[in-house]
Amino acid sequence: MPTAAATPHARPVVFVDGVRTPFGRARPDGIYAHTRADDLAVRTVRELLRRHPGLPPERIDDVAIAATTQRGDQGLTLGRTVGVLAGLPPTVPGFAVDRMCAGAMTAVTATAAAIGFGAQDVVLAGGVEHMGRHPMGFDADPNPRFVAERLVDAQALNMGCTAENLHDRDPRLTRERADEYGVRSQRRYAEALAAGRITPDLVPVATRDPERGWGLATADEPPRPGTTVEQIRALPTPFRAGGRVTAGTAAPLTDGAAMCLLAGQDTAEELGLAPRLRMVSFAYAGVDPAVMGLGPVPATEKALRRAGLGIEDIGLFEINEAFAVQVLAFCDAFGLADDDPRVNPYGGAIAVGHPLASSGVRLMTQLARQFEEHPEVRYGLTTMCVGLGQGGTVIWENPHHADYDGFTGSTTTEAQR
């Protein structure tokens, strides 16, 4: 009779590094209007390899890349095609992921689970979205049963309408609070940019325009520094007449890619890769699609339970700003002030943009830099709402904290980052 295989113990998984392209506006005159989506992802993979020359490319066990609209130049099994285009050895496999806005987050957690199980040692995970070429929902064909059988409200297929529904659900979620939050996001991003906290994680991208010729994208295009509450109050409400959601309190349509390098802690130590985050737990949860912005709340509750932590243990929060009201609902659920300095200290997607499937890794990369600035903070989280009523949360530990029990490896220099 065969002997049952021993169940392996999960091993620590660390986030070694993350990068992203500058984010561009998804429009005909945007910086990436004539740049392929897969080439944006290739640029991030090559940059991670450049920053970590001690990592043999053949040691990479998998490449997971997410996209929400998997067609054209962001289709064809992105993880594999981008790996080949980036010059990885043909022995390195890859695959594509789709969990809409949480695509890159899912690429990270899926491959991290494989590392924790012992099936892999080193992976690349991220996402790309070229919303200028591939608008959200383009060519989608939602099953008519969704509405005919009242499985979901008809408005649940429009993310802006779900944000308006959130405002309806709780009278405390006023337009005034949302407008003030939108201004705060722009201001915090501008302050972080001026302080040098954004640019080190950006990968310059060569661009080509038939009329303007060659260029180099080095900075985010969407931010609107100096935005005032008065300006936002004057904006129209496109999702509902007399509504509360405007372009000033929603993430703009965006093009961009983000990628990270994950490893088992033991493998990172072997290769001299210093961790910037350690994964503690993660969770996904479903909610009524009509109020999809509530998804981060049950996802966070579940992730905290799995980690044996409470919200009071979390010292930094990176919450994706699909809409201001979604962040405010999260803050209300956990007793956080609208202007809590621990919440999105570098601003968020309202300022910098939200290229759907890539945003999860942007949140992680920003949290990693904040951990470096705040060694007194032990735990932080990244969380986001997801279309059709989901939420995802990942809880991370700070390797710079005095109580961190990980190894002390060689560090990556600031110049490399």
Q: Hunting for tokens 């490896």 — which residue is that?
A: 409
**Token couple for 128:** 């790309």
* Cα 253 from Cα 415, distance rounded (Å): 31
User: Annotated catalytic, 101?
Assistant: yes
Amino acid making up residue 199: T
Annotated catalytic residue, options 134, 331, 385, 401: 385
CA angle 89/94/95 to nearest 5° reads: 165
Among candidates 278, 293, 302, 282, which has minimal Cα distance to 398?
278
* Cα 163 from Cα 323, distance rounded (Å): 7
* Cα 272 from Cα 278, distance rounded (Å): 16
Which whole-number Å values give the CA distances from 113 to 14, 121, 258, in the listed order? Answer: 11, 11, 20
Beta strands in 365-415 (DSSP E): 379-386, 390-397
CB 393 within 8 A of CB 333: no
* Cα 153 from Cα 411, distance rounded (Å): 51
Segment (H or E) for 314: strand 314-319
Annotated catalytic residue, options 52, 134, 354, 401: 354
CB 247 within 8 A of CB 119: no
Amino acid making up residue 256: G
Among candidates 65, 61, 110, which has minimal Cα distance to 89?
61
Chain centroid, CA 143 distance in Å = 28
* Cα 117 from Cα 408, distance rounded (Å): 23
Q: Where are the alpha helices (DSSP H) in 118-261?
A: 145-148, 159-169, 175-194, 229-233
**Token couple for 248:** 């000033």
Annotated catalytic residue, options 52, 101, 331, 401: 101
* Cα 273 from Cα 263, distance rounded (Å): 9
CB 385 within 8 A of CB 330: no
Positions marked catalytic: 101, 354, 385
